[in-house]
Amino acid sequence: MTTPRLLEPYRLQDLELPNRVVMAPLTRSRAGAARIPNATMAEYYAQRSSAGLIISEATTISPQANGWLESPGIYTDEMAAGWRTVTDAVHRRGGRIFLQLWHMGRASHSSFHGGGLPVAPSAVKINGDPIPTPTGKQPHEVPRALETREIPGIVADYGRASARAREAGFDGVEVHAANGYLIDQFLQSRTNLRTDDYGGSIDRRIRFLREVVEAAAAAWPGRRVGVRLSPNGTFNDMGSPNYREQFTQAAAALDRLPLAYLHVVDGLAFGFHGLGDPMTLADFRAAFRGPLIGNCGYTQAAAEAAIESGQADLIAFGRPYISNPDLVERFRSDWPLAEAADMAAWYSPTGAKGYTDFPAYQPRG
């Protein structure tokens, strides 16, 4: 029997993957108030280590980057040591894992920062539902626009976080430039109203992303840095009229950098701004010549078709990995997928419940 392309081995630059199934980053809020990864998190990732590649949940690069309750960080020695327990557990089971680097920008709140406003490229507020904070649900605030002189310090934070990730045993890092967080805020005209070297033209709006990638890549030999983009998304009140030109140029700029891959949230299941035709993997394949990961709402059949057609090299699965730690094995054996009905337990600090208590499939007989 011919092995499906999705389950074939794949060489990602200098990293050998046993299959083309990627575990997408999933924020799960299990790191506690100190934001230090723990034994329960190590068990969770180890359970899913048969993925060709695991991309960790979004992990903040500095105190300024925080804005989500009990999400992990990578800016102290204690955090790096906590992550080392995770990477060791994954590697013991033969897995590979990248750390996703995160700065929330305007999607944060002053209660995470001792009363100081969250930062952003420009003072543009999110229009949306209240957000959970340490003091309960709060309305979004108008962020403080970053001074030009502050930006190199944030770029350096990304570089230090990337170096810590390597020390913590990760196989690489992914720069989170999607879903309306800080880098995406710099990229898009909806949120970037700057007139300095980081705003105005499309090329200037790309500059921050380019500098972050260069800083992150400096910590690694070879190509061990990926980037995630979300050209179609509305999360965190995003979507800009010139999105096609913006993201095509961003992909072309990334093509000139030493990337491991480009990870595109091309599916529309997470929301679509409807400002024109959605961007597809084919649009990015034309601008970026390296490995391409598709993401969002893929079934096994759709993933197989995307790889068979050459649109994608790998496919990332998010929600299916919540309740199917053995997703690769279920794909390989055509076993049914389990459903995770209790959404309240997905992203809340509930310990093992809804996190590590999903069993592997047990065939009858």
pLDDT at 219: 97
Q: Is the pLDDT of residue 1 over 70?
A: no
339 pLDDT tier (thresholds 50, 70, 90): confident
* 201-224 average pLDDT score: 97
| Predicted local distance difference test score (pLDDT) of residue 345 | 75
As a whole number, mean pLDDT of residues 110-116 equals 97
pLDDT-derived band at 270, boundaries 50, 70, 90: confident
Instruction: Tell me: pLDDT of 336 over 70.
Output: yes
Q: How confident is the model at residue 200 (pLDDT cuts 50, 70, 90)?
A: very high
- How many residues are there in the chain? 365
pLDDT of the residue at 334: 95
Across all residues in the chain, what is the average pLDDT? 96
| Average pLDDT of span 44-54 | 98
Looking at residue 67, what is its pLDDT? Answer: 98
Q: For this structure, is 321 an active site residue?
A: no
Catalytic annotation, pick one of 10, 75, 181, 321: 181
Mean pLDDT of 298-313: 97
In this prediction, residue 199 carries a pLDDT of 98
Going along the chain from its start, the domains and CATH numbers come out as: 5-345 (3.20.20.70)
Question: What pLDDT was estimated at residue 237?
Answer: 97
| Model pLDDT, residue 281 | 97
Using the predicted structure, report yes or no on whether residue 350 has a pLDDT greater than 80. Answer: no
The predicted model gives 195-206 an average pLDDT of: 98
User: Does 29 have pLDDT greater than 70?
Assistant: yes
Does residue 83 carry a pLDDT above 70? yes
Q: How much is the pLDDT for 253?
A: 98
CA–CA separation, 67 vs 109, rounded Å? 6
- pLDDT for 226 equals 98
Predicted confidence (pLDDT) at residue 354 exceeds the cutoff of 70: yes
Contacts 24+ apart (CB under 8 A), 335-343: 335/361, 335/363, 336/361
Q: Is the pLDDT of residue 343 over 80?
A: no
Q: Report the percent of the chain where pLDDT is more than 90.
A: 93
Mean pLDDT on 192-220: 98
Give residue 365's pLDDT. Answer: 63
For residue 229, is pLDDT > 90? yes
Calculate mean pLDDT across residues 283-295: 97
> Taking 80 as the threshold, does the pLDDT of residue 340 lie above it?
no
What is the pLDDT, as a whole number, of residue 3?
Answer: 83
The arithmetic mean of pLDDT across residues 182-192, rounded, is 98
Mean pLDDT over 33-44 rounds to: 97
Quote the pLDDT of residue 120.
Answer: 98
